[in-house]
Amino acid sequence: MGIALYRKYRPQTLAEITGQNHIRITLANELANGSVAHAYLFTGPRGVGKTSMARIFAKALNCLKRKEGESEPCNDCDACNEQRAGRSMDVIEIDAASNTGVDNVRENIIEHVRFAPTSRRYKVFIIDEVHMLSTSAWNALLKTLEEPPAHAIFIMATTEIHKVPATIISRCQRFDFKRIPLASMVERLRHMAVGEGASVDDAVIEEVARLGDGCLRDAESMLEQVLSLDEKKIGLEEAALVLPRSNRDLVAAFIDTLADRRGSEAIVLVNRLVEEGVDLQQFVNESIEYLRGLLAASLGAPSSVVANDPAKRLSAGHLVRLINSFMTARVELKSTPIPQLPLELIAAEHCGDAGASQEPRTKNQFPKMPVADPRVKPEEDRKNVIANSEATKQSHDQGNEAAPKDGNSTFDIRHSTLAAPLVTNPPPLTPNPSTIPLETLALRWDELCAAVQEENPSLPFLLRVSRPLCFEDGELVIGVQYKLHADKINLIKNKESIIRGLTALYSCAIIPVRAIVVPAGDGGAASNPLTDNLLAQFGGTVVE
């Protein structure tokens, strides 16, 4: 039976470790200086060299031919040969995933650590997947780690450092392994392909390294599948038989349709993916990776993605929105009854009006309020207010659909005077709005609720349980039934919202407001203004 590539080409010296120079140099200096710690903790993603580094370090510790000031094992002495063959009595490897209990720790570590090495300098314990130990096992190991014998050295490896107790971490030298850079992986894979006597195109090597996603062991396993084709020369066409399908061309085409806002073509492309059996989850992941590269390029950062012309027209803000949409689609794909629906929604969102906007949508803002001119005479102000009020009332009676007279309000803020800009030179207005009929205020009260909705979402509820009572010294008095509601309305921010809404609705000057508590029996907040108006016209009483 053949040996797997990742085992056949496993590094045997510190110099052969790929992509972890910051750790390799530190450990080499400790070996050369003789300042070795009693416990080490290696953490990082899978397949990046943690176990290989632990074995090499253990081998260098017990190497019989390593001289003072040197750090590399000779790989020729009896100690090195024993460990390489797995026969060393003084290097004990423990798989914590299958030995999680406290009894395993006592039997494999605590009992053995008391005895001196059989023939070497150190007794080294390599504990892989150490985060799998139980709480009792950690407690049993803690005392040994705190005060170990001089001949004992612990090297622990884990992919989930957050599961390791802080009391353990504090007693170890911690080394964080990183994902292997793409260039280093390509160089390592090319070396392995040459060692196997295979002719593999550079494009295949790069594709395998990219699919490895920083995990060298995964890339080595994929390369082994490629080499198993036993072809004289292996190109992308041959490698496609065993490598996972790449959708990069389809991803680029889909992003192009979104960049050009060709919604129909985007929908057709999505349905083509489903018909061809493309893994939509993988397609979304590759789309996120592609967009990430575009975003990095748009911000001037190094990127391996070379965008074509349509993709270059995507702004950084649009790219951020696209990435967020794909992140949402990745979650929705797990539960949607229609597989292509999340991608179709992306096409609809970014090829329509929502995608065309280059700036995030913001809430409608009230126009600036005109300020009354104190230099204008009160008599002239009153005439202007009456004229404005009559014009507003006439416009409302002729065709304002925002507040039908039957009381069923269908007010749309987009068609109200709130959305229209104020005239450049408004006529002078008086700060005393007492000429606005109170009946008009009552009939258009729902419009006021809708007008303040965008700016203050909680305020309409308070207004709907209140009613305009009267004008007192130029101030609109609002009646409510409960003191809590009055206190809320009288908050400065809420009063300002109501003032802005009234100013926009009636095109008048600032109307100060305040709320007071009025018992229900006195025609306060419990009675509806529209109901009161009907009762006044047709007679009758309200039956509880």
- Please, is 166 exposed, middle or buried when counting C-beta atoms within 10 Å of its C-beta (0-12, 13-18, 19+)? exposed
CA distance 351 to 324: 15
Task: Check residue 536 and give its pLDDT.
Answer: 55
Q: How many CB atoms lie within 10 A of CB 203?
A: 11
Residue pointed to by tokens 């803000």 = 317
Residue pointed to by tokens 């996120």 = 288
Residue 502 pLDDT grade (very low, low, confident, very high; cuts 50, 70, 90): confident
Terminal Cα distance for the chain, rounded:
91
CB 89 within 8 A of CB 59: no
CA distance 257 to 270: 11
Three-state DSSP state, 11: coil
Task: Check residue 389 and give its pLDDT.
Answer: 44
Q: Which residue from 516, 523, 532, 528 is spatially nearest to 482, judged by alpha carbons?
A: 516
CA distance 156 to 341: 46
Yes or no: is domain 182-239 CATH 1.10.8.60?
yes
pLDDT digits (tens, 9 = 90+) for 155-164: 999 999 999 9
pLDDT digits (tens, 9 = 90+) for 43-95: 999 889 999 999 999 999 999 888 888 889 998 888 899 888 888 888 989 88
Q: Which residue from 204, 216, 275 is spatially nearest to 240, judged by alpha carbons?
A: 204
User: Per-residue pLDDT for 34 more than 90?
Assistant: no
Task: Check residue 42 and give its pLDDT.
Answer: 94
The structural domains of the chain, with segments of one domain joined by +, span 5-176, 182-239, 248-356, 378-538
Q: Which CATH superfamily does the domain covering 5-176 fall into? A: P-loop containing nucleotide triphosphate hydrolases (3.40.50.300)
Q: Taking the domain 378-538, which CATH number applies?
A: 3.30.300.180
Residue pointed to by tokens 């104020």 = 422
Q: Which residue type sits at 234?
A: I
Residue 394 pLDDT grade (very low, low, confident, very high; cuts 50, 70, 90): low
CA dihedral 314, 315, 321, 325 (to 10 degrees): 20
Residue 361 pLDDT grade (very low, low, confident, very high; cuts 50, 70, 90): very low
CA distance 31 to 25: 10
CA distance 214 to 19: 10
pTM, 2 dp: 0.57
CB 342 within 8 A of CB 333: yes
Three-state DSSP state, 263: helix
Mean of pLDDT values over 174-179: 93
Residue 326 pLDDT grade (very low, low, confident, very high; cuts 50, 70, 90): very high
CA distance 199 to 448: 77
State residue 366 phi and psi, 5-degree precision: -70, 145
- Token pair for residue 84? 């390489």
Domain spanning 248-356, CATH class = mainly alpha
User: Per-residue pLDDT for 25 more than 90?
Assistant: yes
Q: Which residue type sits at 154?
A: F
CB 153 within 8 A of CB 41: no
Domains 5-176 and 378-538 share a fold: no
CB 229 within 8 A of CB 243: no
